[in-house]
Structure formats: structure tokens, C-alpha cells
Chains A and B, each alone.
Chain A
Amino acid sequence: MRWLDWIVVVVYLVWIVGSGLRASRRTNELDGYFRANRSLPWWAVGLSVMATQLSAITLVGTTGQAYADGMRFVQFYFGLPIAMVILSIAVVPFFYRSGVYTAYEYLERRFDVKTRTLAAAIFLAQRGLSCGVIIAAPAIIFSIVLGWNIFVTILLIGLPTIAYTMVGGVQAVTWTDVKQMAVVLGAMVTAVVVLIVGLPKDVSARAALHVAGAVGRLQAIDFRFDPKQTYTIWSGLIGGLFLSLSYFGTDQSQVQRYLTAKSLTSSRHSLLLSAFVKIPLQTLILLTGVFVFAFFLFNRAPMLFNTVHEREVLASPRAAEYQALEGEFQQKYATRRAAAEALAQAEEHGPGSPGLAEARAAFRQADADVAGVRGRAVALVREISHDESYTELAQRNYVFPTFILTYMPMGLVGLMIAAIISAAMSASSGELNALATASVMDFYRRHIRPGAPDETYLIFSKFATAFWGLFACGVAYFAANLGSLIEVVNKFGSLFYGSMLGVFILALGVRRANGHGAFAGLIAGLVTVFVFAFHPATKDVSYLWHNVIGAVVCVVVGIAVSLIARPAAR
């Protein structure tokens, strides 16, 4: 990073924290702090809903995923629009009209306090850990790519977020989310422009996409019905539907967003904004990754994008082996570049041009050869460093940051770094605010100090925000490099989301369900999913199906136990 990039990042941080702290003037009451006095416009809430879900992992991991594997990940979001419609019709009215502060408060009204408490505890544990991963992801990447101390990068993201969330509550979170979405969108469009401009003069964007398409990077839809394939249209429409229903319908970090809207209609509109925009937005991010792939066909790329062990490898007795691989990579890379240029020229002449099929075959072979060298290099580094987390999968997270730092102009590097920090802050601020709300409403006010004045709860909520923020920073510090980060976060969430959805299905959709059934169903769903996820016979099934399994088991067990066990008199 150069001086102008630093200025851009510092200006961004001052601007965001300042605007977040300014929102604190309107948040000196409990309702203002947690629900913004139900005053927010639908578009601001809608952008906040999207910003809370769009973390740095999305920016860095998704682009890396597209670089390595193409557009297939977009199928993950196919269930989301349908989920938003269902939630708008069936769930949002109950939450909005009930006047609750948390989704779990609703469970006590419907069932009993033990169901509420268990659900809230699961939320705190799961969200607290995932907030740490959300901070860890960009922090680890910055520390490796920029050479910064990991502790510093964690605090760079964590401390400003804690500050404005603690002081400003949900209003600070929402209005900073709006600004952060603007930064992210602007940065992604800028990145695409730089990528296209960076192609050779005789290679058009259309030809570059054809070249990327020749090795499957633009194959977005997979119609196979194979439970072991993570991303197919079926796992997206069905598994992704259940995941979205649970995440947006039962996770406090999202429920709290739409409880702040001016009216029920505004609340619905805020979710429907995601329904329209989310898939196109993800397509833009994935296409950015595809263009990065195309860019690196014609512009110098490193053999390994994650160079954390390079010094150790070059100082080891096997350095000559590594350097030989480097030499082989340069040769194979040059061959692939020539093949890519030839293919691009053939594509420019249209589908029937002579030699097109041969050019495609030559390029595919050359691309496979480059991938082979990289695979051997990764294995060598893993053997020398004994770092089992150093895998080909983990390389993906460093592709986009490497492009940013190597090829983007001065000033725009700062914009991209600010965008990655933005995405991390917007996701974690929403989660911190939700964690504090659940801590106060579902535990402190409900069990420890009921009936205290609102000022007491307001003070505790600020301490709770700080506590969860520092907890997340601690988790981030101990988090290892965990493969494709966006998959890790979604896999972890899918262990819990299905069962939580099942409890709310029982609450809203099964009249005869009672507290005993809901409680038993929730536990049965969690146990079933955990066993399914880790048992040797079933652990290879895509994690998206865990959401379906958890929900179904919870509902079935919940109904069965409800029919047997009568609720206690209230």
C-alpha cells in the first residue's frame, strides 16, 4: 500500500465511525437503541439486511471461489427470493405486531421460557463464534498479504465496529451499513473495470469470457441431483430455501433489522429488496472472480497466492525442489498464456472459425498443466511447513487480494481495502448488536434483573456489545486458516439453522405444538444434524441439506412429543 491508499483507508474509517457515533444522539432510550423507535425507511433497512449478510468472506472467498471453480456458487442463493416471499407473508407480521425485541422472546409467548432460553443460548453461542470468523477472515488475509501483525489487523476491524455499535445501537448499525454497501458496490464495479481494462488490447471482454468459459468458469447451473455435490440447482432451491428461511426468519441479527422499519409494509419491502437484488449482486461478485481468472491468464501471476511459508521453504533443504517447480510453472504459464491468446483470437472470429476446437483443447490442456504444477507446489509447501491447513482450497482466499495489491492503481487499492473492511464491519456490527440485544432481553432482563429501569438495561447492553466484540476478536485470533472461508461459515451455521427453523415452524404453523415438544424437537434436530454431519457414512452429503434435516426432525419430534406431553399450566 502507498501513501494515497493509506489516506483512503483512514478517511473511510474516520467517516464511518464518525457517522456511526453521530447516530447515538437519537439512541438514549431502549426502544431507540434496539428498534430505532421503528422509524427507519424500508430501503435503509433492506440495505442493512444485505450488508449484514455480505461479509468480507463474501468478497474475498466468493471471488476466489469463482476464480478456481466458476459461477456454480450462485446456486446457493436460489432459495433466497422464495424464502423472502414466505417470510413476508407468514413470519414478519407475527414478529412485527407482537412488539418483541428478539425472535426468541416470541418463543416464550408461544411456548415457554425454557424453549426461549435454549434458542437464545444457541444463538449466542453460534453467532458469537461466527462473528469471530467474520473478523478473522479479512484479518488473516491482510496479515499475510500486507505483512501486518494479525493482532493489529483484527483490532483494525474490530475496535471501530465495537465503538460505533456500542454507542449508537441499531441506528448506527443501519446507517453505517447503508454507507458500507455503497462502498462495496462502488469497489466491485471499479474492480471489474480495472480487470477489463487490464486485458491485452487484442483481447476483448467477450473473448476473455469465452476463454474462461472453455474451462467451465461460466457454467452456473448444475442440474444433477447428487446430494454429495455442494452446489446444484436442487441444493440451492431446496437446501438454500431452508437455510434462508432460518437465517432471515429466526436469526436475531436479521430479525432485528426488519423490526426497525416504519411499518409492516416497510418491513416486508426491506426483505423483498434482497429478493430482487441478492442474486444479481452475487453474480457481479462471482463475475469479478471470473474476470480475475481471465486477467491472470494474460498478466503475470504467482505460482502460489498465499506466500506465508515462502521464506521458510526457500531456507529449507528442499529449496531447490521448490525453485525447480517455480521454473516449471513459468514455462507452463507461458504455454497457457499463448494458448489463451490463440483461443481468444479464434473466439473473436466467431463460433465457426477454423481451428477453434483445437485452440480450446490446447488451452484446456495448458490450464490443467498449470493447475498440476500448483498442486505439487502446494503439497511441497505443506510437507515442509507441516501446516495441514495449507491446501489448494485455501489458496483461493488470496487470489483477489493479490490482484488488488499487485495490479490496481494507487488510491484504488485503498478503496478495495476499505471495501473489504466495510464488508467485515457491516456484517459484524449487525451481529454484535443482535448479540447484545439477546443478552439483555433474553437473559439479563428475563432472568437476572427483571423489572429494572430501562437505563440499567441500556448500560448493560453497551457492556454486552463490548464484551461480544472483544470475544469475537479473541475467537478471530485463535481461528486458523480454514479453507474456503465462505463455506466454513455456512457449514457451521447449517449445523444449527435447520433446527431453529423447525422450532419457529412449530410456533407459527402447528397449533397443537407445546413447549415440551418444541424443546425436545430442537434438541433432537441438533443431535441429528451433528451426527449426520460427522458420521463417516453421511459426512460427504452437502451441508445445505443439513438445514432440511434439522427442520424436519425438529418438527416431527416436536409434534410427537407435543401429543404425548401436556404443557404446564401458565
Chain B
Amino acid sequence: MLPSPDPASAAANGERDLSRTYALVIVVEALVIGALYWLGVCFA
């Protein structure tokens, strides 16, 4: 496998750690799917 980006050089290049954003994406998706499920249950 090709080497992953080096965290030290990434920080030196001003790249941000987006771990929290990634987690937020998954959480928001789960909430949106839940809302869609609720929509079907509520209006069925």
C-alpha cells in the first residue's frame, strides 16, 4: 500500500486535522436517515 500522508509534514503544510468533521458527517447522515424513516412512519 502506498504510504499514508505523514502527520508531521501535514501539520507543517498547514493541513488541518479533519477527524471531527468526518465524524460529524457520519452523525449527520445517521440523523438524516433517521428523519427520513420518521417521515415515512409519521405520514404512512
Contacts and interface: CB of A to CB of B under 8 A. Distances in A.
Contact of B36 (A81, A210, A283): A283
Contacts of A418: none
Contact of B44 (A219, A233, A264, A276): A219
Interface centre among B25, B29, B37 (most CB of A within 10 A): B29
Contact of A264 (B15, B29, B33, B36): B15
A272 B28 CA distance: 12
Nearest to A513: B1
A82 B40 CA distance: 23
Secondary structure class of chain B's binding surface, majority of residues:
helix
A101 to B, nearest CB: 20
A268 B15 CA distance: 10
Given A81-B26, A276-B28, A279-B29, A220 B37 contact: yes
Contact of A265 (B18, B29, B37, B40): B18
A320 interface: no
B18 A88 contact: yes
B40 A508 contact: no
Interface string A197-215: 0000000000001101110
Contact of A275 (B1, B25, B39): B25
A272 B15 CA distance: 15
B8 interface: no
Interface residues on A, range: 35 or more
A535 interface: no
B14 A263 contact: yes
Contact of B15 (A78, A82, A216, A265): A265
Interface in B9-36: 13-16, 18, 21-22, 25-26, 28-29, 32-33, 36
A103 to B, nearest CB: 15
Contacts of B44: 213-214, 216, 218-219
Contacts of A212: 43
Contacts of B21: 272
Interface string A249-279: 0000000000000011100100010011001
Nearest to A86: B22
Given A82-B29, A264-B13, A508-B1, A272 B37 contact: no
A423 interface: no
Contacts of B13: 264
Nearest to B35: A283
A213 B43 CA distance: 5
Contacts of A78: 29, 33
Contact of A218 (B18, B32, B33, B43): B43
A238 to B, nearest CB: 14
A99 interface: no
Contacts of B14: 263, 265
Interface centre among B18, B36, B37 (most CB of A within 10 A): B36
Interface in A72-117: 74, 78, 81-82, 84-85, 88-89, 93-94, 97
Nearest to B21: A272
A450 interface: no
B18 A268 contact: yes
A379 B43 CA distance: 33
Contacts of A82: 25-26, 29
A85 B43 contact: no
A263 B18 CA distance: 14
A275 B26 CA distance: 9
A216 B39 CA distance: 11
Contact of B32 (A71, A88, A94, A280): A280
A221 interface: yes
22 contacts: A74-B36, A78-B29, A81-B25, A82-B25, A85-B25, A213-B40, A213-B44, A216-B44, A221-B40, A263-B15, A264-B13, A265-B16, A265-B18, A272-B21, A272-B25, A275-B25, A275-B29, A276-B28, A508-B2, A509-B1, A510-B1, A511-B2
Interface of A: 71, 74, 78, 81-82, 84-85, 88-89, 93-94, 97, 209-210, 212-214, 216, 218-221, 233, 263-265, 268, 272, 275-276, 279-280, 283, 507-511
Given A74-B36, A81-B28, 9 more contacts: A81-B26, A82-B26, A82-B29, A84-B25, A213-B42, A221-B36, A275-B25, A279-B29, A283-B36
**Chain A to chain B: the 5 pairs with minimum beta-carbon distance, closest first:** A213-B43, A220-B36, A218-B43, A219-B40, A81-B29
